[in-house]
Chains A and B, each alone.
Chain A
Amino acid sequence: MSNGAFEPRLIGFLCNWCSYTGADLAGTARMVYAPSMRIIRVMCSGRVDPQFVLKAFSEGADGVLISGCHPGDCHYQEGNYKALRRHRLLTKMLEQFGIEKERFRLEWVSAAEGVKFQHICNEFTEQIRKLGPLNWNGGKHEQSEA
């Protein structure tokens, strides 16, 4: 936000085997994509604890992406299905917290899909730019004034 324009901050939890490799491919292939994505590598999308997603939002992320292997292709067989189940329930719960479902994405990116990863990053960034900053503070503002 150096020049005042809103630059989204996105956190991506990428599985080691498919999506992280896919992102790596996007990098080695020198594909240009929005710099807003900050990647955290996990072994499997099934490792992504909903606590991490909440933590990311509370620490200032404007959007969170979980990306894993395509259904049926999970390196650990079914971790991505667990991620899918959690994503659906967590999305519903986040809406109760006033966090739009557009801010929390689950995508399947294979190791070969560098282009897809590039596309997702760009599209996600644009989407969040339209939604505007999340500015999470959890009601902490009152404490100082009180």
Chain B
Amino acid sequence: MSKAKPKVAFYWCSSCGGCEESIVDLAEDILKVVEAVDIVFWPVALDFKKKDVEAMEDGSIAVSFINGAVRLSEQEEMVKMLRKKSGLIVAHGTCSHLGGIPGLGNFWNKETIFNRSYHTTPSTDNPDRTVPLEKVVVEGKELTLPSFYDTVYTLDQVIDVDYYLPGCAPPRDLILNAVQAILEGKLPPKGAVLSPNKSLCDDCDRNESKPEKLVITEIKRPWEVEIDPEKCFLAQGIICMGPATRTGCGERCIEGNMPCRGCFGPTDQVFDQGAKFLSALASILDTNDEKEIEKIVNTIIDPAGTFYRFSLPHSILRRRRMEAIK
């Protein structure tokens, strides 16, 4: 390996692993990446230890791609370490960018999540009510586990992040473009999300199918109707987060005849994706009658979960109030 090659690290926090998969999904293009860079840390693929990273000089890694949200003390420790060792940190994928699906855990806390996971799921058989403990003494030796936080954090809530690669998982084009930009040093201003700053409607083929006045009289869930594959979802009364979601994903869901659920997060101008979408949706409900409004609102079963499916930790409120969790 040539000395001139920039060093790159990949790390995986709270996520499904799909983002790691997205690297593998570069297929033969990954060879180009490997040729151009020197991968110095990639626990999922290569055998590196924490101490190897500790041994690196500060700032010696050119760029670290970190996927997943932060919910364990170990993750916090690792990302903080990577921050020190890296020139650039890229939040790779929705979970590190916005919190992602793991972020929905913020409607609960450690206690309720443990209770559910280790006691009350139908498939659990745990008569001794064993739960993971942070410290346990086995044969006189103390074993430790990282501590589990009540709250899931986005990467930038724990460390300083330079760039964001959005998506669950980020599409191949965006990754390649990002890598190329880093290699060529043609980087946008710090803090940029590496995807166009417009909402999905801009690229959506169905946008032209919108009626003259887009209004909603009834909310339908996707399984309740046969979805017209040509027509705008909102015009069909199906909740589609597209208007409030950044584009660049390649409309994979739309092409699969499923509405956008918002994994790319909000555009730069928006502070809170869910609140903005809520505002847009409520505004186009086609009634001024209080009872009628409430009737339609009641058909939106889980507004918070729907509007913040991928962005709860990134939202203004970040999580459910601890006092309100029973």
Residues of A within 8 A of B (CB): 49-51, 53-55, 57-58, 71, 78, 81-82, 84-86, 88-90, 92-93, 96-99, 134, 136, 138-140, 142-143, 146
A90 contact from B150, B282, B285, B290, Cβ within 8 A: B282
A68 to chain B, nearest CB (A): 13
The residue on B at minimum CB distance from A138 is B318
Determine which of A51, A85, A97 lies in contact with B282 in the assembled complex, contact meaning CB atoms within 8 Å: A85
Specify the chain B residue showing the minimal Cβ separation from A99: B321
Given contacts A58-B316, A90-B278, A93-B303, contact A85 B107 (CB under 8 A): no
Distance between A90 CB and nearest chain B CB, rounded to angstroms: 6
- Tell me, rounded to whole Å, the shortest Cβ–Cβ distance linking B268 to chain A: 14
B115 on the interface (CB 8 Å rule)? no
User: Of residues A55, A96, A134, which shows the largest number of chain B Cβ atoms within 10 Å of its Cβ?
Assistant: A96
Tell me whether A136 and B317 are in contact in the complex, defined as CB-CB below 8 angstroms, given that A90-B278, A96-B303 are known contacts.
yes
Assembly CA distance A4 to B64 (angstroms): 48
B39-47, B189-197, B202-210, B294-302: which lies at the interface: B294-302
Give how many A-B residue pairs fall within 8 Å (CB-CB).
Answer: 113
| B290, B303, B318: the one within 8 Å of A139 (CB) | B318
By a CB distance below 8 angstroms, the chain A residues around B287 are 85
- Which of A50, A81, A140 has the most chain B CB atoms closer than 10 A to its own CB? A50
> In the complex, which of the residues B149, B272, B288 contacts A54, with contact meaning CB atoms closer than 8 Å?
B272
Q: Point out the residues of chain A lying under 8 angstroms from B293, CB to CB.
A: 84-85, 88
Q: Closest residue of chain B to A134, judged by CB? A: B321
Q: What are 27 A-to-B residue pairs whose CB atoms are below 8 Å?
A: A50-B276, A50-B278, A50-B279, A51-B271, A51-B272, A54-B272, A54-B275, A55-B271, A82-B282, A84-B288, A85-B285, A88-B282, A88-B294, A89-B297, A90-B278, A92-B303, A97-B304, A98-B320, A99-B324, A134-B321, A138-B316, A139-B106, A139-B153, A139-B318, A142-B151, A146-B76, A146-B149
Interface size on B, residues (CB 8 A): 46
The minimal Cβ–Cβ distance linking B285 to chain A, given in whole angstroms, is 5
Determine the chain A residues whose CB is within 8 A of the CB of B307 once the complex forms: 93
Known interface pairs A139-B151, A142-B151; A96-B320 also in contact (CB < 8 Å): yes
Min CB gap B281→A, angstroms:
7
Minimum distance in angstroms from B116 CB to a CB of chain A: 17
B112 is an interface residue with CB less than 8 A from chain A: no
Task: Give chain B residues whose Cβ lies under 8 Å from the Cβ of A96.
Answer: 107, 302-305, 320
User: Nearest residue in B to A91 (C-beta to C-beta)?
Assistant: B297
Is B257 part of the binding interface, using a Cβ–Cβ cutoff of 8 Å? no
In the complex, A139 Cα to B315 Cα: how many Å? 12
Q: What 10 pairs between A and B have smallest CB-CB spacing?
A: A98-B324, A139-B151, A98-B321, A138-B318, A96-B304, A50-B275, A54-B316, A93-B303, A86-B282, A85-B282
B31: interface (CB < 8 Å) = no
Query: Which residues of chain A have C-beta atoms less than 8 A from B92's C-beta?
Result: none
B278 & A136 in contact (Cβ 8 Å cutoff): no
> What is the predominant secondary structure among interface residues of chain A facing chain B?
helix
Please state if A89 and B316 are interface contacts (CB–CB under 8 Å). Answer: no
Question: Are B149 and A142 in touch, CB under 8 angstroms?
Answer: yes
Q: Contact at A86–B278, with CB atoms within 8 Å?
A: yes
The reply on B158 being an interface residue by CB < 8 A is yes
Tell me which residues across on chain B come within 8 A of A84, comparing CB atoms.
Answer: 288, 290, 293
The answer for the CA separation of A53 and B275 in the assembled complex, in Å, is 9
- Contact residues, B75-102 vs A (CB, 8 A): 76
* B323 CB–A CB distance under 8 Å: yes
Return the chain A residue nearest B152 by Cβ. A139
Since A86-B278, A98-B322 are in contact, a sample of 16 more A-B pairs with Cβ atoms closer than 8 Å, ordered by chain A residue number, is A50-B272, A50-B279, A55-B316, A58-B317, A58-B318, A88-B293, A89-B303, A93-B303, A96-B320, A97-B317, A98-B321, A138-B319, A139-B153, A142-B150, A142-B151, A143-B158
Give A37 to B170 CA distance when docked, in angstroms: 45
Which of A57, A78, A142, A146 meets B317, CB within 8 Å? Answer: A57
Contact of B297 among A92, A136, A138 (CB under 8 A): A92
Name the residue on A nearest B304 (C-beta). Answer: A96
B73 in contact (CB, < 8 A): yes
Q: Tell me which residues across on chain A come within 8 A of B177, comparing CB atoms.
A: none
Max count, chain B CB within 10 A of own CB: residue among A92, A93, A136, A140? A93
Q: What residues of chain B lie closer than 8 Å to A71, measured between beta carbons?
A: 288
Closest to B275 in A: A50
